[in-house]
Amino acid sequence: MTDLVERDAAAVTPSPAPSASPKSRLRSEAFARRLRARHAAERRFRLAGAAAVALAALMLVLLLGSIVAKGASAFLEARIRLEVTLDPAEVADRNYTALLRRALYAQFPQVTDRAGKRVLNDLLSSGAPYELEAMVAKNPALAGTTLTVWVRADDQIDQLVKGAYRRDLPESERGISDARIAAADALLASGALAQGFNTTLFTAGDSREPEQAGIGGAIAGSLLTLLVTMALSVPTGIAAAVYLEEFAPKNRWTDLIEVNINNLAAVPSIIFGLLGLAVFLGFFGMPRSAPLVGGLVMALMTLPVIIIASRVALKAVPPSIRQAALGIGASPLQTVLHHVLPLAMPGILTGTIIGMARALGETAPLLMIGMVAFIVDVPHGLTDSATVLPVQIYMWADSPERAFTERTSVAILILLGVLILLNGAAVILRKIFERRW
Amino acid sequence: MSIQSGIPSPLKLRPRADDRPGQRSGAVLPNKMTARGVKVFYGAKQALKGIDLDIRENRVLALIGPSGCGKSTFLRCLNRMNDTIEGCRVEGQIALDGEDVYGKAVDAVQLRARVGMVFQKPNPFPKSIYDNVAYGPRIHGLASGRDELDEVVQTSLKRAGLWAEVKDRLREPGTSLSGGQQQRLCIARAIAVSPEVILMDEPCSALDPIATAHIEELIDELRANYTIVIVTHNMQQAARVSQRTAFFHLGEMVECDDTEEIFTNPRDERTQGYITGRYG
């Protein structure tokens, strides 16, 4: 034994000074130098890490800052005050356009020519008569009375009020005529043109006219789609993960299945769209543009994500818990349902919510099943035509009207808000379900 | 799991030399469990090479031996916990009250309720102390109604010597207890289903000496009602708590005898080497 120890020591220290004991080596100058180098390396690493975090934070602030700066104004919309006399004959004819125009002309007694009147007509949103019609439909007793209404202004007027047009440019480069500016300024001066909270944005569906376009339809479409996705992929994914992790024999078949699930998670989402087109629309004849089909496709897409996350969460449950349960005679299913699954729940939920968030932000597979479409109505069922938030963003971003720019930004803000809510829910659920062992 | 056929029923087996009446252990108690020719394979690797062993009722049997000798593997055969290990194969015969536990008539779930187990590391469920103990009776439907369940929980905790310490905090998580308390909680959880045999796999190896002393006292008290098999690396512990001791070495059972006999007068050279600390 003694021989062994001595030989080992000689092998470790081939230095010419065999007298140097390990103790003195730990106090030598060379050791101190190495120690300093180690500390310096650590400082460098920390600095690099902090710099990376700072850079990421800066990018996030820039992105959010630019979106907020562009989108915040969309929460307000310009409205014009009119004293409308609801002539019963015109109401009966449902000629609300004429009623509104008459009220507007009354504010500009000096305008008599056709061109001037056309400028005035265009101050109002083409949706304004419908607003008035809706009011009268709600309360038919209004017919014959004179009432003060605030109706939506045209999107160019809205943008003018918000300062989107540069007044110092010549008329030809400005994008809005001098006459319109003069009329809007006159209304502003008399207090008949003002900004109010934009409820249209949240309640309406899409529209060609920016001032009438809202993301209500897209939000409803997204929720319906997500509902279908969740209802299908969460139970299926968790069940598959539990079976593969806890019950399935480990053999070539389960290995093959595992490889395929991992592959599916990496398949481009457009492929799932093609599959949906071929199978759900082509073979089963399901309706186009429907949240039902969108949800089915998204479910196929998120399923592998949920299975993989759930399996990882199940694997992380210590085997001692399974043994404890089996050891007092719990059946394998009881072991899983009473002990393993509750302990894996935080991880499973996190994976599920990340999968859902991904589905919420996905557009490519919807392209194939007709959900990238101009849909004016807010969907009320799983088979109504619908679009989703990211698609709405994409379509608005493509629109030439200036007012769509701010609406695009605001839609992005709302999508980000929903994503933050989802991820926040993941964190909270994690905290609730987290248990120590 | 394949069982070798042609092995005589344990009831008809000729009593082994050390089981004969009038010998050292005085009045012979009936065998609660018997193992004959038990071989265990993990894939191609053979972990046990034919073990014959009798486990007597209301006695503590200690399994000692160096690491990797197969004593834990043998223990896990007794309640078929080896079933849960991928690639594990058991041959030979193990009987509980004369009934082959690997036979078709025996359900592993029922067997594990009859043959309870306490593990090396305390592994309470991340639930309340009450729920930990009540879990077994609940799933087996052993208590009808709230009061009866309370009764079972209280009795089990008292038997495990934990009642005085936890009676005011039954709703607190079991994981909030100290290591020794957790292990006694696991023992309470095991006895709450009224098993006939309790298997203990190095129950004190993660505990300090005081907690160990607690558990050892407890084992001695439990002997009155249960048959106990304990795996231990601590030879003093084997000497203190057991009436009989089996020495395992490299997958074989070298020697099984009264504990006193093993420690004072071992027949096999390897046993002597191990208990005197020459190897292991």
Domain spans in chain B, listed from the N-terminal domain onward: 10-275
pLDDT of A4 reads: 43
Domain co-membership, A84 together with A144: yes
Say whether residue A330 is in contact with chain B using an 8 A CB cutoff.
yes
Interchain pair A339, B125: CB under 8 A? yes
pLDDT of A274 reads: 93
Let me know if residue A109 belongs to a domain.
yes
Interchain pair A334, B140: CB under 8 A? no
Give the residue from B81, B109, B142 with the most A CB atoms within 10 Å of its CB, the best one to mutate: B109
Let me know if residue A134 belongs to a domain.
yes
Range of the domain at A183: 74-198
Domain co-membership, A243 together with A149: no
Mean pLDDT of chain A: 87
Whole-complex ipTM: 0.83
Chain B contacts of A325, Cβ < 8 Å?
Answer: 125, 135
Domain co-membership, A225 together with A317: yes
Å between A350 CA and nearest CA of chain B: 20
Domain co-membership, A358 together with A269: yes
pLDDT of B3 reads: 43
Kindly provide the b/e burial profile for residues A70-91, where b requires at least 16 CB atoms within 10 angstroms of the residue's own CB: bbebbebbbbbbbebebbeebb
Chain B contacts of A343, Cβ < 8 Å?
Answer: 126
Let me know if residue A26 belongs to a domain.
no
pLDDT of A435 reads: 58
Interchain pair A327, B135: CB under 8 A? no
The domain boundary, picked from A132, A165, A198, lies at: A198
Token representation of residue B207? 């505990």
- CA dist list (Å): B54 to A388, B35, B78, B103, B244: 71, 6, 12, 18, 10
Domain co-membership, A352 together with A403: yes
pLDDT of A122 reads: 87
Q: Which parts of chain A sit beneath pLDDT 50? A: 1-13, 437
Domain co-membership, A288 together with A178: no
Nearest-Cα residue of chain A relative to residue B117: A327
pLDDT tens profile B192-209: 998 999 999 999 888 888
> Which domain CATH number covers A392?
1.10.3720.10
The domain boundary, picked from A167, A198, A229, lies at: A198
pLDDT tens profile B110-133: 899 999 999 999 999 988 999 999
Nearest-Cα residue of chain B relative to residue A250: B86
Domain co-membership, A301 together with A388: yes
pLDDT of A375 reads: 86
Q: Residue range B249-267: average pLDDT?
A: 90
Let me know if residue A92 belongs to a domain.
yes
Domain co-membership, A163 together with A295: no
With respect to CATH, is domain B10-275 assigned 3.40.50.300? yes
Domain co-membership, A268 together with A322: yes
**Could you give the 3-state DSSP secondary structure of residue A78?**
strand
Let me know if residue A89 belongs to a domain.
yes
Domain co-membership, A192 together with A93: yes
- The number of residues in chain B equals 280
Q: What is the DSSP letter of B77?
A: H
In this predicted structure, the answer to whether residue B265 has a pLDDT above a threshold of 60 is yes
Let me know if residue A19 belongs to a domain.
no
Let me know if residue A210 belongs to a domain.
no
Say whether residue B11 is in contact with chain A using an 8 A CB cutoff.
no
Domains identified in chain A, total number: 2
What is the C-alpha separation between B34 and B11, in angstroms, rounded? 9
**CA triplet B52, B54, B58: central angle to 5 degrees?**
160
Let me know if residue A415 belongs to a domain.
yes
Domain co-membership, A186 together with A223: no
Chain B contacts of A323, Cβ < 8 Å?
Answer: 81, 84, 117, 119, 123
Grade residue B104 by pLDDT with cuts at 50, 70 and 90. confident
In this predicted structure, the answer to whether residue B16 has a pLDDT above a threshold of 90 is no
Token representation of residue A116? 């001037």
Domain co-membership, A300 together with A420: yes
In this predicted structure, the answer to whether residue B4 has a pLDDT above a threshold of 70 is no
The domain boundary, picked from A152, A168, A198, lies at: A198
Question: pTM of the full predicted structure?
Answer: 0.80
